[in-house]
Chains A and B, each alone.
Chain A
Amino acid sequence: DAKTTQPPSMDCAEGRAANLPCNHSTISGNEYVYWYRQIHSQGPQYIIHGLKNNETNEMASLIITEDRKSSTLILPHATLRDTAVYYCIVRVERSGSARQLTFGSGTQLTVLP
């Protein structure tokens, strides 16, 4: 799976949009971009994933550049409960055995009141 690069930390004011960048310049054509987050003392939580097109769900939007070398996770109206470490990963859909997740160091998002 391709390597990703994320800033170690970001702050965002409550109620504002949080835009979390991720670089994945070595991404392959069949690799998806996934975002998970981990709130302190909890297990990781899936947020969203995409291949080429921008995606939106009830939690967030995912914007993938046309060359797919970077993406941005957008939390449209950040709340204090969105304070967490956000992980961007890229992974290929494989047939066969384990499809385990591998997280890097992620971005610590702190939403400020």
Chain B
Amino acid sequence: GAGVSQSPSNKVTEKGKDVELRCDPISGHTALYWYRQSLGQGLEFLIYFQGNSAPDKSGLPSDRFSAERTGGSVSTLTIQRTQQEDSAVYLCASSYSGRANNEQFFGPGTRLTVL
């Protein structure tokens, strides 16, 4: 079946502009995660959605970052007034439930470059 998809695959923007990144999780997966990965670095957790529960936003680096998940499926990560340090690969993952030992399936990522 279809995996996690993300769009766009690449986004180049100017400093100060807003960007929206989209994630389509695997159908039926109730848990959705956003991470980012800077060049040569590990994963940095951003936000987590589980079913209808309030999202865990503890990883969002600033109030310029927000995310929503509509209808328990598609999620959008929005970065307002982008800065050069926001440049990274933004990865979305989904899993069947929020249990820790359910594997997370990752999308291909969106490479964001802020000029």
Contact = CB atoms under 8 A, between A and B. Distances in A.
A46 B108 CA distance: 13
Which secondary structure characterizes the binding site on chain A?
Answer: loop
Nearest to A43: B106
A7 interface: no
B101 A32 contact: yes
5 contacts: A43-B106, A43-B107, A97-B53, A98-B48, A99-B31
Given A97-B56, A98-B48, A100-B35, A44 B43 contact: yes
B49 to A, nearest CB: 9
A49 B42 CA distance: 19
Interface string A1-41: 00000000000000000000000000000001000000000
A43 B100 contact: no
Interface residues of B, number: 26
Contacts of B108: 42-43
Interface residues of A, number: 22
A99 B107 CA distance: 17
Interface string A82-113: 00000100011110011111111110000000
Nearest to A49: B101
Contacts of B56: 97-98
Contact of B45 (A44, A101, A106): A101
Contacts of B99: 93, 99
B50 A97 contact: yes
Interface string B92-115: 010000111101111111000000
Given A42-B109, A49-B103, 13 more contacts: A43-B109, A44-B104, A92-B100, A93-B101, A97-B50, A97-B53, A98-B50, A100-B45, A101-B35, A101-B45, A101-B104, A104-B42, A106-B42
